[in-house]
Amino acid sequence: MVDCVVKDWQGEAAGTATLDLKVASEENASHIVHRALVRQVNNGRQGNASSKTRAEVRGGGRKPWRQKGTGRARAGSIRSPLWRGGGVIFGPKPRDYTTKMNRKERRLALRTAFQACSEGMIVVQDFVNELSQPKTKEIISALGRWGVDADSKILMVTAEKNDIVERSVRNLPNVKLIQATSLNIYDILNADSLVVTASALEKIQEVYGE
């Protein structure tokens, strides 16, 4: 169980919130989190890299020159891998990188990673009503008041999608905005700072708490 201080729009303490998720045991935590991370990265690969073998390169049907008498090395085809423009030996071919992992294990890894990062997590009150229109400067100022380095990689988690918040954040290249139901292990581990709204924290506890 983790107790967090909830900050308001001005950066002042406005209450507390509790996060209590079932996590993996200490000896298994790093292993299961690593497996889940590798799975997500692998499943994101297109796997469409492809090179041509000597059988697929165009041309090369005729012997470049006669076998003997020219003083040059023997050559049977311009498609040889030894030739520039020839085929590729053991080159990449389209393949499926999909890695499987049980759903219970994936959720356990996600809960473990999120709770491990919760010590430095910043919990804030919902600030949708504080933004009357999209304003990136307001978000940058708020991050400063919350004690978050605006130049660090920030993962901002909200309970629901909001157009004004999205448009205010999208010009910040180091800030990623996701919904509580779209949590994933890569974004959690990749972020330097975690900013979560109080309603999003409740949603996470509701969806992922077991």
In a domain, 96, yes or no: no
Mark whether 58 and 125 lie in a shared domain.
Answer: no
Identify whether 67 is part of a domain: yes
64 within some domain? yes
Range of the domain at 176: 2-45+101-208
112 in a domain, yes or no?
A: yes
Show pLDDT as tens, one digit a residue, over the chain (210 residues): 777 888 888 888 888 888 888 888 988 899 999 999 999 999 999 999 999 999 999 998 999 999 999 999 999 999 999 999 999 999 999 999 999 999 999 999 999 999 888 877 889 898 888 888 888 999 999 899 988 888 889 999 998 888 999 999 998 999 999 999 899 999 999 999 999 998 899 898 888 876
Query: Does a structural domain hold residue 137?
Result: yes
Domain of residue 152, CATH code:
3.40.1370.10
Same domain? For 74 and 32 the reply is: no
Same structural domain for residues 164 and 179?
A: yes
Tell me, yes or no, whether 25 and 129 share the same domain. Answer: yes
Say yes or no: 110 and 160 in one domain. Answer: yes
Q: Note whether 37 and 70 are same-domain residues.
A: no
**Could you tell me if 110 and 152 lie in one domain?**
yes
The answer as to whether 155 is a domain residue is yes
Closest by CA to 156, choosing from 203, 113, 110, 123, is 123
Q: Please tell me whether residues 176 and 134 are part of one structural domain.
A: yes
8 is a domain residue: yes
Burial category of 194 from C-beta neighbours within 10 Å (exposed 0-12, middle 13-18, buried 19 and up): buried
Whole-model pTM: value is 0.81
Burial class (CB in 10 A: 0-12, 13-18, 19+), 67: exposed
Confidence (pLDDT) at 210: 63
Q: Does one domain contain both 117 and 75?
A: no
Determine, yes or no, domain membership for 16: yes
- b/e burial code for range 122-157 (CB count within 10 A of at least 16 → b): bbbbbbeebbeebeeebbbebbeebebeeeeebbbb
Q: Residue 94's pLDDT is what? A: 96
Give the C-alpha separation, 173 to 92, whole Å: 33
Assess whether 123 and 163 both reside in one domain. yes
Q: Indicate whether 126 and 26 sit together in one domain.
A: yes
CB atoms within 10 A of CB 190: 12
Give how far the C-alpha of residue 70 lies from the chain's centroid of Cα atoms, to the nearest Å: 59
Q: What is the number of domains present in the chain?
A: 2
- Looking at the fold, whether 14 and 76 belong to one and the same domain comes out as no
